[in-house]
Each structure stands twice: as C-alpha cells, then as structure tokens.
Amino acid sequence: MDSVRIDKYLWAIRVFKTRSDAAEACNGNKVRLNGVTAKAAKAVKPGDMLEIRRGSALLSYRVLKLSESRMGAALVPGFAENLTPQEELDKLRPPRETIVMQRDRGSGRPTKKERRQLDDLMDAMEDF
C-alpha cells in the first residue's frame, strides 16, 4: 500500500474518534496536507506533513507509515510523529481555574428559582 485516504489515516492514528468525525473535519477545511487544505478522499503518503485544527489548537504530524486499520495508542508513534508544540497541546486541556459549584451540606436540593439562576450563570460563563 503506497497511499491511504486522509480520513482513514487520521482515524487509524487516533486523532479522531470516528472516521466520520475525521471526514467532517477534512470537509470543513480543518485539515491541511503539506500546507494545502485537504478533503477526506485525498491520499496520504509516508513523509507527508499533516496539520489539524482542533478547537483553538493546531496539531502537527509527520506520516511515518501507513495504516487503514485502527490501532492501539501504544502503536501510534510508529506510524505518525507528533510535532505539535507543547503550547498547542496545552490549549486542548481545560483551564485550571475552573469554577467549582459547591453547596452547603444539609441545605437540600436547589429550588426551581435557584436552579434557573444557576443555569443563567452557567450560560453566561459559556459565552464569556
């Protein structure tokens, strides 16, 4: 095998959980192959450079070997070299300063009014 579809390859090296997620990212212009936007059917060869936009992070990989079948996480480094800088990987992790919802012990369940206020607060935090 001298080439593999890019969506199959991204699924096989575990960048995406499903092949349809990989195809959707390709068709949504979130995947670049050697600096050029790639659609799902584009062929990948050893030595190619991949850039994948995941949220605000830009992941970079070099293709070492090809595979059409999904593999265990321990085998992935033999098929793709992860060139992503640590700063980009940190963008994928949730922020450390997360809000912890805490309620006084014994105060019971929130009332309907309190729950609506909490929902409004959480919606406002998502928009921020």
DSSP-assigned letters across all residues of 106-128: TS-SPPHHHHHHHHHHHHHHHH-
- For strands 43-44 and 57-63, give the pairing: unpaired
Instruction: Report, as an integer, the average pLDDT of 105-112.
Output: 87
What are the boundaries of each domain within the chain? 4-92
Q: What is the pTM of this model?
A: 0.72
Instruction: Report, as an integer, the average pLDDT of 18-41.
Output: 95
DSSP 74: G
User: Residue 124's pLDDT is what?
Assistant: 82
What is the C-alpha to C-alpha distance for residues 40 and 25, in angstroms, rounded to an integer? 8
Task: Indicate the class that CATH gives domain 4-92.
Answer: alpha beta
- The 10s digit of each residue's pLDDT in 43-97 is 999 999 999 998 889 999 999 999 999 999 999 999 999 999 999 888 887 766 6
Evaluate the CA torsion angle 77, 83, 87, 90 in order and state its sign.
negative
The SS3 call for residue 4 is strand
